[in-house]
Amino acid sequence: MSTIEPTAAAEFALLSKEQLVERCVSLQQRVITQGKTLPGQPQYMRTPDGYLMWVDQSVELTVANGGIVSIPSVGNIISALGWDMLNQVLRVNVCQSPNIELVKTPSGKVGAVRVSGAAIGSLGGVPQVHTLTLTYAFYEMFVGELVNKVKYNKTAGFLGTKNQHPTTPGTWAWFEVEAPAGVWADLAHGEVMTCLKTLQDRRSKPDRAAFTFLKRNLIRTFAPGIQARCDSTTRTIPIRGWYYPMTKDRMERICQMALAGKHGDAEVEYKPIEAQAITDGDEAAAVEADLNDEQGGQEEAAPGGQPPSAPPPSPAPQEPDKPAEWQAAFDAARNAFAMLTMEQKREIKAKFPGDMNTKSVDELRAIHNAMMNQYEAQNKEKQKEFFG
């Protein structure tokens, strides 16, 4: 019997229940005749709906393989890529809504983005769909970081009220924290300039970080016993992943219903997760490290953590200066990119270098076709290898 490959969940999703049962019966007969399976190989149990599979496997996360990221002010934690590695065993299918809500600050500028998604997985063999709405509050992070800068560096600024204008020379600007309190900051100061640069980086493409956080946090709801913090730069995590026999169409239908706030399948538990907000810059730094790491699989070619399955039909947000045709081609390429393995992503990045935002419609379509061909070819090869 072959060991479970990272793409097994995606492959199984393409099978009907009858096909899956047939495969499982064959595999179980081999287990009976050949003895107990080896560690890391799948186990099966009979249920009224067919065969339910689980696998016990250990996943090694390190700083070197991108599974752990070291943040100076936080320590070692599991990165977004690390959760993707764990999800190769957990087999959680994430579907993210393309709708992005812009949240404005009192001054009228966009200070946060709000995204939502649904995920189907299994806990203890019980299929569940979880929904989550997450706010990525990058302006609130900026204000918090600015407060810390002036708290420990008096030359950078000070806390006060708007009518307490600084009397010392400097390029002063007022940032409100909570009326009437706020921060007077010297824009010419190096520490303040660093905060502003970080704000601009986060504001440039906030949906990328927001979707990455959303996907990570949805996966974490199916792994309640795994702590994000790591004691060192290496960690081996034993984990049990379940697979509940379900077709791709059924999963998509359940996700669409769940995103609309409806329970779409009596056999699948519906569990909305309380809304979350990312307001801590230290926490954001972990995802930003992934997004900026060429070896981490979150390259410039694919902003945001998009789902392996198609999102519910809904108009995707358009950039103000981009036509609808370009936006459609861009979204298709981004979604296809998320379906690839880390190795495939690096191959695509090498074959089509440069920022995706600068590509033409024809170039985006060519990239999309190349990725889909790559994905389909690997699926066929893996199916042959897994099922013999």
Q: What are the boundaries of each domain within the chain? A: 8-142+197-387
pLDDT at 257: 93
DSSP result, 68-126 = EEEETTTEEEE-HHHHHHHHHHH-PEEEE-S--EEEE-TTSSEEEEEEEEEEEEEETTE
Name residues whose C-beta falls within 8 Å of residue 331's C-beta, 6 or more positions apart in sequence: 98, 316
- The model's pTM: 0.63
**Low-confidence spans in the chain with pLDDT less than 50:** 1-4, 6, 34-35, 293-321, 382-383, 385-388
Alpha helices in the chain (DSSP H): 8-13, 17-34, 80-90, 138-152, 190-204, 206-220, 248-259, 281-291, 324-338, 342-351, 361-387
pLDDT at 316: 36
Model confidence over 223-240: pLDDT tens digits? 988 998 999 999 999 998
pLDDT at 75: 86
pLDDT at 293: 47
pLDDT at 106: 76
pLDDT at 39: 55
pLDDT at 355: 74
**Residue 134, beta-bridge partner list:** 115, 276
Say how far apart CA 34 and CA 83 lie, in whole Å.
34
